Amino acid sequence: MPGCGQRPGSLDGQQDGAGRVLGLVAHVSLIPGGRDGLTLGSWEANMDILVVGGGIGGLTAALALARDGHRVRVLEKAVRFAELGAGLQLAPNATRVLERLGVLGHVLEAGVRPRRLLLRSALAAAELTALDLGEPFTSRYRAPYVVLHRSDLLAILHDACQASGVVLCPRKDVQAVTDDAGAATAECADGTSYQAAAVIAADGLHSGVRRLFTGDQPVCSGFVAYRGTARIDEVTARSELDEVVAWIGPDLHFVQYPLRAGEIYNQVAVFRSQRYAADPGLDDGQWGGPDELDEAFQACCPQVREATGFLWRDRWWPMYDREPLAGWTRGRIALLGDAAHPMLQYLAQGACQAIEDADALARVLAACPGPHLIGKALAEYAQTRAPHAARVQRTARVWGDIWHVSGVGALLRDELFRRRPADDYSYTDWLYAGPRTHAL
């Protein structure tokens, strides 16, 4: 993809693809036959939308809006559109949206469809429970489970946006967003400004636009992540190549799965930093270093200990989220993705929820009777998405606690996990089946 590569900068590794990338302005062009075969009326062809953020959430929103006939410009703070990180899991709640947007075929070509999700003991290596991702799963949720590289997904979205007429502009750092009766405005550091019927902020965990809604700050979990990818034949301590495996243990876990049609292997180690626990006032670079990584995993089984040798050790990602936010909209301004609901990674739903946001946003704007009712449409988007996203945020925290419990709690957890059949989808229906669609 021209102009794309690794995003330089901070260690906000758990962001759902809407990293600190900025801005999007919606189209006036009419594209016959948008998503689900919709054709827009002439009043819709005159509505501009500005979205701040060019990561996975922002580009998915741009693509959905462009396919519905809007004219879209993406203003990216970085010098190029890129994603920092490695592997990404896309559950059916996200792949259904990507299919409607016409890009799922490319995602399947670039990724891997695992046979099952598997939890193992990081200490004893025993299998605890699994989720079968085969035909019954796909039929139930009407879409597949896919794993792929973050940069591959962003490249697919980038190219699809270009093909749909989206104007992609890097080096655009949005400094201020304002709203008045007639339009919303985004002002950039280089002196340029853009007006639109609405501003959609997809500017990540450290969203500047979010400050219009709340003075809250990111919440540090005290856990840190190390990542690493390598050629598949170089990794000697790997799991089966048709599995996504999470090895779980007291205050730690280790995830493994293949990427790029099985050509490379992705691994992630996460652990609680004792140094941070002793002094929560430390800056991010002062805790969670490689010495703590080795100490945290020294009691694990041989395969996990060996696998940590294939991680990158020159960078690590402190894990943050925020408290759920009830109000995502203010007049012509709305939040999307990590700007609205940054979450911990334990449900692998950060990017998935941003993709769901983009779909919900496009649907309410497609139903909006005109720019004069844009505020009502954005409020409907928030009403549709905020309660569900808040539940995912809270459940991710609890699921992390379950993974990382020790002592008697771990023994009880393991016994309950072992009794659960692999084709029991009752615990994932609420997450993968998708929320109800609301009409404006």
Tell me: the pLDDT tens digits for 180-194? 878 999 999 999 999
Q: How many CB atoms lie within 10 A of CB 251?
A: 17
Residue of 243, 261, 238 lying closest to 152 (CA atoms):
261
Report CA torsion sign: 107, 113, 119, 125: negative
Question: Which burial class, exposed, middle or buried, applies to 136 when counting CB atoms under 10 A from its CB (0-12, 13-18, 19+)?
Answer: exposed
- What's the pLDDT score for residue 435? 58
Asked if residue 315 belongs to a domain, the reply is no
- Report if residue 177 sits inside a domain: yes
Which residue among 194, 257, 276, 432 is the active-site one?
257
Residue 34 has pLDDT above 70, yes or no: no
User: Is 257 known to be catalytic?
Assistant: yes
Q: Which residue has the tokens 């894990």?
A: 319
- The whole-number pLDDT of residue 75 equals 86
Query: Per the domain annotation, does 421 fall within a domain?
Result: no
Residue 93 within any structural domain of the chain: yes
Q: How far apart are CA 435 and CA 440, in angstroms?
A: 15
Q: What is residue 312's DSSP assignment?
A: -
Q: 104-118, 165-179, 239-253: which has the minimum mean pLDDT? A: 165-179
Q: Average pLDDT for residues 276-302, to the nearest whole number?
A: 97
| pLDDT at res. 226 | 97
Tell me the CATH number at 92. Answer: 3.50.50.60
Mean pLDDT of the chain: 88
Tell me which of 130-134, 372-376, 425-429 is least confident. Answer: 372-376
For 236-282, how does the pLDDT look when each residue is reduced to its tens digit (9 = 90+)? 999 999 999 999 999 999 999 999 989 999 999 999 999 999 999 99
Contact (CB, 8 A) for 239 and 125: no
In a domain, residue 330? The reply is yes
Q: Which amino acid is at 231?
A: R
Q: Please tell me the least confidently modeled range out of 22-36, 208-222, 258-272, 338-352.
A: 22-36
Prediction pTM value: 0.88
CA–CA distances in Å: residue 124 to residues 72, 192, 211, 270, 355: 52, 58, 46, 18, 37
**Looking at the domain assignment, is residue 17 inside a domain?**
no
Domain count for the chain: 1
State the Cα–Cα distance between residues 158 and 398, nearest whole angstrom: 34
Residue 47: pLDDT band (50, 70, 90) is confident
- Indicate whether 8 belongs to any domain: no
% pLDDT > 70, the chain: 88
Angle between the 56-67 and 92-100 helix axes, to the nearest 10 degrees?
Answer: 40
Which amino acid is it at 58?
Answer: G
Instruction: Give me the mean pLDDT over the 77-93 stretch.
Output: 89
Does position 439 have pLDDT exceeding 80, yes or no? no
| Domain of residue 161, residue span | 24-111+150-216+324-399
Q: What's the pLDDT score for residue 88? A: 95
Domain-embedded: residue 105: yes
Q: Decide if pLDDT at 27 tops 50.
A: no
Instruction: Please check the confidence at residue 114 and state whether its pLDDT lies above 90.
Output: yes
Backbone angles phi, psi at 271, to 5 degrees: -150, 160
